[in-house]
Amino acid sequence: MKMTIHPMAGDLTVISLEGRLDIQGADAIDDQFAFATTTKPKRIVVDLSQVVFMASIGIRTLFTAARAQTARGGRIVLAAPTEMVNKVLLTAGVDQLMPIFDSVELACTALESA
């Protein structure tokens, strides 16, 4: 599991995840991801295009970030999940808590205009 942070204009940040978001993957990025997403209010796009596998533990990682941002007045959205990852997200109801966009660009636009 790999995580890359791309600071954009203003407080907008794109966080790209790459690999399997299973127990090992979540363990690998949890601290780093939590630090990037929970410490201060931001507008965050999580780029899931390179996430090849997503288990419930990964959903928890996303929920933690969403909860922290909601509490701090920030926003976090998901972008570009693969078909199967998207199905996992929909099955777990993640879309009810975090908007899911088809592409990073659409997500950024939505956050910028928000």
Partner 1 sequence: MALAVSPAQRGADHLPTGALRRRLSVPNERAAVATASVWIRAVGAEAGLSETDLFRLDLCVTEALTNTFSYGGLDADSAHTEIECEAAEHVVRCTLRDAGVAFDPAAAELPALPSLLDHAARGGAGLRLVREFADACTYLREAERNVFSFTLQRHGSRASSRSNWVARGAERRALVERLKVLSRPAGVIGVGIADGSGDAVERDRRSGVERRALGFISQLRILQGAPYSALETLIADCPQRTLAAEQVWLAPGERSTDVAVVLTGRLRVHVESAETAPIYVVDVGHCAGEMQLLDGDPASAFVIADVDSTVLLIPGRMLRERLLSIPQVAANLLSILAGRIRRSDRLIAEQVRAAMELERLHRELKLAQEIQVSMLPVPPLFSELPQIDCVGFMRPAKEVGGDFYDAFALDANHVFVTIGDICGKGLPSALFMVRTLTTLWNETTRRRNPQRIVEHVNRHLCVNNDSGLFVSLFCGVYDLGTRCLQFVSAGHNPPLISIAGEPLHFLDAPRNLVAGIAPQANFRAGSIELRAGSLVILYTDGLTEAESVDQQWFGDERLLATIEHVRDEPLPELTSAVVRAVDEFAVDAVQADDLTLLAFRVNA
Positions touching partner 1 (CB under 8 A) are: 20, 22-24, 27, 53-57, 59-60, 63, 66-67, 70, 83-84, 87-88, 91-93, 96-97
- Nearest residue (CB) to partner 1, 27 versus 112: 27
- Nearest residue (CB) to partner 1, 48 versus 66: 66
CA–CA dist 83, 18 (Å, integer):
15
Least Å from the CB of residue 106 to partner 1: 23
Least Å from the CB of residue 9 to partner 1: 27
Beta-ladder partners of 79: 47, 101
Least Å from the CB of residue 27 to partner 1: 8
- The identity of residue 15, as a single letter, is I
Helices (H), ranges, the chain: 23-38, 56-72, 83-91, 104-113
Return the H-helix or E-strand segment holding 50.
strand 43-54
